[in-house]
Structure 1
Amino acid sequence: MNLCVRVRSLRSNLIGSFYRLSTAPAEIDGEASETVLIDDSDDAQAREEQIEKKRNVSRLAEAHYNLVNGQRPYEVPKALAHLTVKYNRKMYGKYGSASGVNPIQEMMDTAAKNRREQKLKILERDRDIADKFEKKERLVEEVRRHFGFKLDPRDERFQEMLVKREKEQKKKERLAKKEAKENMMIAKLQQKNVEISGGNIVVKE
């Protein structure tokens, strides 16, 4: 019986010492060993993707599922149409920077240029309208001076005289344009004559 107790105590001492040795921190040359971290973020991400796929019980295609959830339908272009500028503009307009499309600086410059041109067109049109309005006012004033007294603009005589003055003014403008065009043609012809005569002159030595 005494022998049995000794074996049991020896066994427990032996197991205890093994346990102490296995759990004690290993030291190399008196320095503590470095802790090694295992990066399992890829595994966790893959596991998360699998869980997300299992959550998708709608049985929609990936593109349709993305559309329903407010994401870009395709991460990688699947057709030639997905490579066009129009498609990329549409994606950027709808999803912003999440679309993965980078707007080019040139496109932004072009848009700014178009806005400036549009503003200039509007200003020019406003100036043109103001000039026409001023011209009309002058015509009305001329007609009033012709009659010598203030006349209602809705009166027939006033309207007739106004139409007559407008026709006269248009005729003057047409004649001025025609004259300017003729002068320009004459200048061109004279220049051609000078060039032709200058080319035919032969210098004799």
Structure 2
Amino acid sequence: MALPMQRCWARLRALTLPWPAAGYHARPRIWGLDNIYKPDPNDPATKCWHKGPPYEAKLYGRFGSASGVNPENLWPSPQQLQDIEEEEKEWCPSLREMLDRLEATEKEELRKQTERKRLIAANLAKMPKMVEEWRRSKKEAKQKERDEKARKERLLAFAREKFGVHVDSRSPKFQELMKELDKEEKKKMKALKKKQREEERAAVAAVLSAIPAAAKPAPPTPDTPV
């Protein structure tokens, strides 16, 4: 295994040119005092990470005053310092602030639990009445359904007597007859309610007439306060 590798390397060395194939010559570095590499910030070829306060802070941290960097320029401006303090307050709160937030969260959770328990207790107290109303509504719905079914059967029987045994409920004559019967039933119900109101008024008038005149309250006079 070693012999083929040696032959391969020998052939590669034989094919190597005596000068650089790319003809590339690297730009010499700009060295300052004490062999410190300081790139030119005005050169467009200078990389972005070799410019600005971060790189100068790196040089000053490594070489100190020998780097030629003024440490006053590395200190943040008042606006930057204010931004840093606000960021620290947001992401690194103090222990007291964290305890206050935790206490407020626990109070809010306790309030929600208390409100939920109160709502459950109120709903449980209303449960019998709600169940009774639901049963009554179901009973009324069933009664209304039976009444509607009986009404349709009654109208169908009346239509059979008038038009014959075979009658189509979708025919225009049947629909017209249904409308007329609905109007008649509404008139009857209206007259019945009116009669009931008149009977109630007559009963109240009879009761009032039976009361002696002395027992009746005197009508208020303009000088008498009501």
Report TM bin, short chain.
0.3 to 0.5
Task: Give the TM-score of the pair, scaled to structure 1.
Answer: 0.47
Which has the bigger relative contact order, CA under 8 A and spacing at least 6? 1
Point out the structure with max Rg over C-alpha. Answer: 2
